[in-house]
């Protein structure tokens, strides 16, 4: 319904900014949380880069996932909440609890405040990380929403944080959610148009490829989806009655190898692709580097693994229709060039 108020947490983030753009375009009023009022200007700059001048349709609230303060005021009067905020650092945290605690406890803070304020539904941004790191489906079938990552296995702190946070959210709704509804979106790697210098880890990977900071490519594969389509799926999950209590994988087609991604950038962007390499590194060399780099060590267990996932549920139940994966990657590279965020453009 036009004019309803939606809270978007982590408003200065890559996905959150695109969610705000979609909500404003659909006629909603939006309140965005930021950890500091100094970030409000950053949000407005990103929205302007996305073609929006929100005016009175956008307001802000200061709230941090690590504290209770600010959340009751943030959700007051809201009809819906998109809980997008969650830590996803480019490197490795000193301790896994640096990621797990904000993700899990932050989700519970948002849910408690939403329940107490009479919010209709919360859409939680989870991740494929909460799905695709357990036992692979039998017969080589793709991962679906029926699968869950085993957080007790050998998984990274980020993977564990997303799994535990989603589990905690579902348990909360089942035990003490009252009339509050929950839907979950589980994106793979999110790409697409960058709106400013403060973008995401996934788009940062493309920036590093184009800057030549990755001289060789590991034998990895992962899913690709456009940020605009992930935002669209959040809105569909927010209002469609059939989405209540459901989780939805967001992926555009089959997974891609890193080499396929690099080749797509070169084919779509030409000379603008910069210093993208298509040379694949042998696994032993990646493993050797992992001995000296905690960040590189995280990817070693995934080398050579073939995974896939299906978004058939979101397509069938919510009418979701994502852009091709190649378009998402090209849009990432084009926006990095346009905004002058590559070393070669400075």
Q: What is the pLDDT of residues 205-223, one digit of tens each?
A: 899 889 988 878 888 899 9
Instruction: Please indicate whether residue 3 or residue 47 has the higher confidence score (pLDDT).
Output: 47
Tell me, what's the pLDDT at 291? Answer: 46
| Per-residue pLDDT tens digits for 286-299 | 665 544 445 565 67
* Mean pLDDT score, 280-289: 68
End-to-end alpha carbon distance in the chain:
45
Alpha helices per DSSP H over the chain:
14-25, 40-49, 71-75, 97-117, 157-176, 201-211, 227-239, 258-269, 283-290, 294-299, 312-318, 325-338
CA-CA-CA-CA torsion for 97, 181, 19, 211, nearest 10 degrees? 30
Tell me, what's the pLDDT at 298? Answer: 64
Enter the tokens of residue 142.
């793709």
- The per-residue pLDDT of the chain, averaged, comes to 91
80 domain residue, yes or no: yes
pLDDT at 1 over 60: no
Tell me, what's the pLDDT at 292? Answer: 44
Q: Are strands 5-8 and 80-83 parallel, antiparallel or unpaired?
A: parallel
Helix (H, G, I), strand (E, B) or coil at 82: strand
> Domain range spanning residue 17?
5-207+224-254+309-325
Tell me, what's the pLDDT at 31? Answer: 98
- The 8-class DSSP code of residue 217 comes to B
Residues 6+ apart with CB under 8 A from 153: 133, 134
297 domain residue, yes or no: no
* Mean pLDDT score, 224-248: 98
Tell me, what's the pLDDT at 147? Answer: 95
Tell me, what's the pLDDT at 93? Answer: 66
| Per-residue pLDDT tens digits for 128-152 | 999 998 777 777 899 999 999 999 8
For residues 82 and 80, give the distance between their C-alpha atoms in angstroms, rounded to a whole number. Answer: 7
335 — pLDDT class (breaks 50, 70, 90): very high
Does residue 256 contact residue 222 with C-beta atoms inside 8 Å? yes
- The 8-class DSSP code of residue 320 comes to -
* Range of weakest confidence among 38-42, 189-193, 303-307: 303-307
Burial class for 167, CB neighbours closer than 10 Å (0-12, 13-18, 19+):
middle
Nearest to 195 by CA among 22, 9, 2: 22
134 domain residue, yes or no: yes
Known active-site residue 162: yes
341 domain residue, yes or no: no
Residues 6+ apart with CB under 8 A from 132: 143, 147, 149, 307, 309
Tell me, what's the pLDDT at 23? Answer: 98
| Domain count for the chain | 1
70 domain residue, yes or no: yes
Among residues 162, 266, 305, 307, the one annotated as catalytic is 162
Tell me, what's the pLDDT at 294? Answer: 54
Instruction: Please indicate whether residue 141 or residue 344 has the higher confidence score (pLDDT).
Output: 141
Nearest to 309 by CA among 100, 149, 162, 192: 149
99 — pLDDT class (breaks 50, 70, 90): confident
Q: What is the phi/psi pair of residue 321, to 5°? A: -140, 90
CA dist list (Å): 28 to 25, 80, 83: 8, 10, 16
340 domain residue, yes or no: no
293 domain residue, yes or no: no
112 domain residue, yes or no: yes
What is the CATH number for 176?
A: 3.40.50.720
Does residue 227 contact residue 187 with C-beta atoms inside 8 Å? no
For residues 119 and 226, give the distance between their C-alpha atoms in angstroms, rounded to a whole number. Answer: 28
């Amino acid at each position: 319904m036009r004019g309803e108020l939606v809270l978007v947490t982590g408003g200065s983030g890559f996905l959150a900014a695109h969610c705000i753009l979609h909500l404003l375009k659909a006629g909603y009023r939006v309140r965005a949380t930021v950890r500091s009022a100094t970030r409000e200007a950053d949000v407005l700059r990103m929205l302007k880069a996305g073609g929006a001048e929100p005016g009175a349709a956008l307001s802000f609230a200061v709230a941090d996932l690590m504290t209770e303060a600010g959340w009751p005021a943030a959700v007051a009067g809201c009809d819906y909440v998109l809980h997008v905020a969650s830590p996803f650092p480019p490197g490795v945290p000193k301790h896994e609890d640096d990621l797990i605690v904000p993700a899990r406890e932050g989700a519970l803070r948002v849910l408690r405040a939403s329940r107490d304020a009479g919010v209709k539904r919360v859409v939680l941004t989870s991740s494929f990380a909460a799905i695709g790191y357990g036992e692979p489906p039998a017969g080589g079938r793709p991962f679906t929403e029926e699968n869950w990552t085993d957080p007790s296995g050998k998984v990274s702190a980020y993977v564990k944080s997303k799994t535990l946070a989603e589990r905690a959210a579902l348990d909360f709704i089942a035990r003490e959610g009252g009339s509050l509804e929950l839907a979950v979106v589980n994106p793979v790697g999110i790409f697409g148009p960058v709106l400013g210098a403060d973008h995401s880890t996934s788009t940062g990977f493309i920036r590093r490829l184009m800057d030549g900071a990755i001289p060789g490519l590991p034998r990895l594969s992962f899913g690709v989806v456009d940020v605009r389509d992930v935002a669209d799926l959040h809105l569909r999950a927010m209002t469609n009655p059939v989405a209540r209590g459901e989780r939805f994988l967001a992926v555009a087609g089959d997974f891609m190898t890193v080499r396929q991604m690099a080749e797509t950038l070169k084919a779509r962007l030409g000379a603008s692709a910069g210093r993208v390499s298509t040379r694949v590194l042998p696994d032993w060399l990646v493993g050797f580097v992992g001995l000296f780099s905690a960040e590189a060590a995280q990817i070693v267990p995934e080398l050579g693994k073939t995974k896939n996932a299906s978004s058939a549920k979101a397509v069938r139940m919510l009418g979701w229709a994502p852009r091709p994966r190649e378009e998402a990657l090209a849009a990432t590279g084009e926006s990095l060039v346009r905004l002058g965020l590559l070393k070669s453009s400075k």
